[in-house]
Amino acid sequence: MTKPLIAGNWKMHMTVGEAVACARHLRELFPEPIDREIVIAPPFTALWPVSQALTDSPIGLGAQNVSDEPKGAFTGEVSAGMLADAGCRYVIVGHSERRRLFGEEDAWINRKLIAVLKAGLAPILCVGETLAQREAGDAFPVIEGQINAGLKNLEAGDIARCVVAYEPVWAIGTGRTATPAQAEEAHAFIRSRIRGLFGETQSADLRILYGGSVTPDNIDRLMESIEINGVLVGGASLNIESFSRIIRYSKG
Ligand code: PEP
């Protein structure tokens, strides 16, 4: 299994100056490669300056969104090739805020994910159920639908570059984290679906991140599960002290 991945999603926060200062601070704290991979996903405007600030650093850069088109008359859009050119290695696709607030549906997310792979980047596909869906007993069918549609038309070889993030919508930005048992159950389910779609090796190697109100206080317990291969962190990644504590998680 590749290293656990700890990714910070900075959402629509930070000016260029603030993002560069945070990136510099983080690289001072983690100057050398360690046994876990660190990625930050600042807003588009800060990608290039942050990539400059991270030159020769083991910390990777990610984008929060991408166009499904390679180029053309698509005002306001940013292509995967542009993100690669700006220094990105990862792209978050299908975040629940994009699904919910911007109408991104599965087929569109699948086209974005394929565009990311074509540009040589690694997609982080977000999936997860709402509270109403969980309470109705539909969490797993919802996740299964998002996995099947999001990863449609991929070859087994493509999956090696993908990361999946299980982010229950009810846990994002709410302070309400899934229990380690809930996360583990969902991750095991996702892995079994990947096994069914792409085979044993691909499913065993796939990194499945948990996301939803991860903090310095709950990270150690979450990472105890062998099913949890890292975390996608929103709010707590905006503060480098708390994000670095999350990166330094220790199991049990
Ligand atoms: C996220 O935005 O992906 C996320 C998990 O946010 P938070 O950690 O703030 O819940």
pLDDT tens digits along 8-52: 999 999 999 999 999 999 999 999 999 999 999 999 999 999 999
DSSP state of 137: T
pLDDT tens-place string over residues 191-249: 999 999 999 999 999 999 999 999 999 999 999 999 999 999 999 999 999 999 999 99
Which pair of tokens denotes residue 176? 């309400």
For residue 193, the CA-to-ligand 1 centroid distance in Å is 24
CB-count exposure of residue 226 (10 Å: 0-12, 13-18, 19+): exposed
Asked if pLDDT for residue 1 goes beyond 80, the answer is no
pLDDT, mean over the chain? 97
234 Cβ below 6 A of ligand 1: yes
212 Cβ below 6 A of ligand 1: yes
Q: How far apart are CA 151 and CA 173, in angstroms?
A: 26
By the 8 A CB rule, do 6 and 230 touch?
yes
pLDDT of residue 252: 65
pLDDT of residue 38: 98
For residue 232, the CA-to-ligand 1 centroid distance in Å is 7
Q: Give the Cα-Cα-Cα angle 208, 214, 218 (nearest 5 degrees).
A: 105
Q: How far apart are CA 24 and CA 120, in angstroms?
A: 26
pTM over 0.95: yes
- The fold of the 5-247 domain, in CATH, is TIM Barrel (3.20.20)
Query: Rg (Cα) of the chain, in Å, rounded?
Result: 17
Q: How far is CA 211 from CA 52, 79, 80, 175, in A?
A: 27, 25, 23, 11
What are the sequence ranges of the domains in the chain? Answer: 5-247
Q: How confident is the model at residue 151 (pLDDT cuts 50, 70, 90)?
A: very high
For residue 54, the CA-to-ligand 1 centroid distance in Å is 23
Measured by CA distance, the residue closest to atom 1 of ligand 1 is 234
Within the chain, what is the greatest distance between any pair of CA atoms?
52
Q: How far apart are CA 210 and CA 24, in angstroms?
A: 26
Q: Which of 60, 58, 18, 16 is nearest to 238 (CA)?
A: 18
What are the b/e assignments for 88-112, b being 16+ CB within 10 Å? bbbbbbbbbbbbeeeebebebbbbb
For residue 99, the CA-to-ligand 1 centroid distance in Å is 14
Q: Tell which one of 233, 238, 243, 246 to mutate to probe ligand 1, the residue whose CB is within 8 A of the most ligand atoms.
A: 233
Which pair of tokens denotes residue 121? 């980047």
239 Cβ below 6 A of ligand 1: no
pLDDT over 90, % of the chain:
96
Q: Say whether 200 sits in a helix, a strand or coil.
A: helix
Measured by CA distance, the residue closest to atom 6 of ligand 1 is 234
